[in-house]
Chains A and B, each alone.
Chain A
Amino acid sequence: MTRSAPTGRRADLWPARLHVVTGKGGTGKTTVAAALALALAAGGRRTLLVEVEGRQGVAQLFGTPPLPYEERRITAAAGGGEVRVLAIDAEEALLEYLEMFYRLGAAGRALRRLGAIDFATTIAPGLRDVLLTGKVKEATTRTSGGHRVYDAVVVDAPPTGRIGRFLNVTAETAKLAKVGPIKTQSDGVQALLRSPMTAVHVVTLLEEMPVQETVDAIDELNRLRIPVGHVIVNEAQTPLVAAGKVSQAELRRGLTAAGLPTDKATVTGLFAEVKNHLTRQELEDSLRGDLVELGRPVLELPLLSAGVDREGLDVLAAALLAAPTP
């Protein structure tokens, strides 16, 4: 059987099955996660986009009402695939878990009214993360009729500052439970998260703070032995200056040739804009260098001038598949 080109590229570029997307707040994690889910669904596959923070960012991105705790189709992907989305709620996950292991049923719902479920997910540090990652693992490994239900699972994960704690559930549960189902579950999650099935992608902008946090997060993930996938530079702009430095005299000549105004305000204004742009570009180049030094594949997504809408997501998804293999 021959594989089509995009599928082959996809397998080279995105070998994992579970894709965890993190990044500093404000870098566009949710957008990138959604675009990646679309990219991995292209050509008739099915992916699950998971939200774990109750922010309803995916609903906002797709302009739908808040999503319930259930896997539902949110959009079609290029070539016939589909993306489903799941907004995991820790309380619901606990109820589901209690039902599964203890058949709590109606009693569970009564407890919820009492506030006991909310209480249990907040008193035990880490329990929330164990439940969330446990659900992610379940979806990633779920089979039906001998086939995997999802070709890939993409998690819109907590930001860089919390990602280590979120993924290192063993450490948290070790403080809580030495034996029992929670311990068993977290051990299973750990095995998955530290296997080649998983890749954590870090989204950044070409700005100092996000790049610094990317460096710190990758360092932390390396220490935790959790596999790091791509560094994804979001909202990258193509360099606009090819011809190097420009003088005011040069600008005046050019503006005259173009039949545009050449008054002092226009010339000095344009000159200042170019200078700022060059300063910015220099900083961005040095930040790119810092990212390359991390030794992970870096890929850049274009800034969408019209903002991110459904079409924009397709553009980003295509960029994620088209990126050259490093």
Chain B
Amino acid sequence: MSSDQHPPRLDIDRILSDPGVRIVVCCGSGGVGKTTTAAALALRAAEQHGRRTVVLTIDPARRLAQSLGLTELDNTPRPVKGVGEGTDGSLHAMMLDMKRTFDEVVLAHTDPAKAAEIFANPFYQAMSSTFSGTQEYMAMEKLGHLHAQGEWDLIVVDTPPSRSALDFLDAPARLGRFLDGRMLRLLLAPARAGGRSVFGLVTASFGVFSRVVQKVLGAQLLTDLSGFVAALDSMFGGFRQRAEQTFQILQAPETAFLVVATPEKDAIREAAYFARRLGEERMPLAGLVVNRVHGTQVPQLSAEASLAAAAAFADAGEQAPTADALRIHAALAALADRERAVTAGFAAEFPEVATVSVTAQPADVHDIDGLRMIGSAISQP
């Protein structure tokens, strides 16, 4: 591939200012700066484009959370101070609390007595805070909820740090299926209905399995589970239905997915998985944000010439500060080259995906000014 083949430039401001775009989802592998990117985009949408914006973050760094006014885990959108004054825009921020979100879902769909019964169930307590996929599912629930409220022009979502980027898309369906409970009913059928099973499928091996599960997990768990299922019975359809609705919203043109990566092999590979998967799911991929990209400010000076000159100083026995500077420059130039090569791999596979690079900051960002800077860096490549 020739080096002058550039992917189209990702125009972030066009996305953030488009009234037709109501959801921006930032996804990508862990450690690539999703949370900071989501916060910076939301801030920019509020300040530069006058939009009533809410950012749903999963687990911000402590100092970033503080700068967003989220000093403790908080499940309701809070206004971010000092943002949007004198404009139509505003910024609210919230941090996902999956246990509380689950509680809210339960409260919204059942009467107080039943809700209390569910909350007291040990199985519910374990599941609402530790079930694999609960966080992803609850992020979707919260997104669906914020969307339905209609109070926001734009919702920016930071996705959970899944073991793989694809979990965010798979987990809701998985949990939805579980809560829909076909297998659950099958498992509990003998216990509940004394053989009066509605499924013709209860095979001999299933009987064995059910006994083994009883033995392995203990009868207590099945009793808890049974109570949980009975209490939740009326909500089963709701879970799957809402998961499907949110999935459809994510496929709609009002949603823009941004894949976030760093110019490193693993992150770019994960970004490629995600781009492929979004394509398969017909979800609108708006572009790729490559964070923490290094570049040299002296492109005219090659790494080789710099190192040769630095070596000459050393040979001459000189402790020249310039030699240090040249070595720093050479390392930076070499790093920039490597990063370009890694990113080019993505561009070769997805030539149509618009891309923007964000220059690495010497120190981490955790205040509103820092987020403003990131926002303008993303918008002016």
Contact = CB atoms under 8 A, between A and B. Distances in A.
B156 to A, nearest CB: 20
Contact of B131 (A24, A125, A244): A125
Contacts of A258: 309, 312-313, 322, 326
Interface in B312-343: 312-313, 319-329, 331-332, 334-335, 338, 342
B29 A26 contact: yes
Interface in B16-74: 29-32, 59, 61-62
Interface string A311-325: 000000000000000
B92 to A, nearest CB: 24
B212 to A, nearest CB: 6
A274 B127 contact: no
Contacts of B320: 243, 254, 257
A235 to B, nearest CB: 10
A122 B178 contact: yes
Interface of B: 29-32, 59, 61-62, 122, 126-127, 130-133, 161, 163-164, 174, 178, 183-184, 187, 201, 203-206, 208-209, 212-213, 215-218, 220-221, 225, 262, 265-267, 269, 296-298, 300-301, 305-306, 309, 312-313, 319-329, 331-332, 334-335, 338, 342, 362-364, 366
Given A116-B209, A122-B131, A175-B122, A270 B298 contact: yes
26 contacts: A25-B29, A26-B31, A102-B215, A114-B206, A115-B183, A119-B178, A161-B59, A176-B221, A177-B217, A177-B220, A177-B221, A208-B366, A209-B31, A212-B62, A240-B324, A243-B320, A245-B321, A257-B313, A257-B322, A258-B312, A269-B296, A270-B298, A270-B301, A277-B328, A279-B363, A305-B334
A293 B332 CA distance: 31
Contacts of B342: 307
Contacts of A305: 334-335, 338
A107 B206 CA distance: 8
Contact of B218 (A27, A179, A283): A179
Contacts of A260: 301, 305-306, 309
Interface string A233-261: 00001001111111000110111011111
B319 A242 contact: yes
A240 B320 CA distance: 12
Contact of A53 (B133, B163, B323): B163
A122 B313 contact: no
B362 A159 contact: no
Contacts of B32: 26
5 closest pairs, A vs B, by CB?
A25-B30, A26-B31, A254-B322, A269-B297, A269-B298
Contacts of A243: 319-321, 323-324
B75 to A, nearest CB: 19
A180 B222 CA distance: 14
B322 A253 contact: yes
Contacts of A244: 321
A315 to B, nearest CB: 16
B215 to A, nearest CB: 6
Given A122-B178, A180-B216, 9 more contacts: A24-B30, A26-B29, A26-B30, A114-B206, A119-B184, A119-B187, A159-B163, A208-B364, A246-B322
Contacts of A98: 212, 216
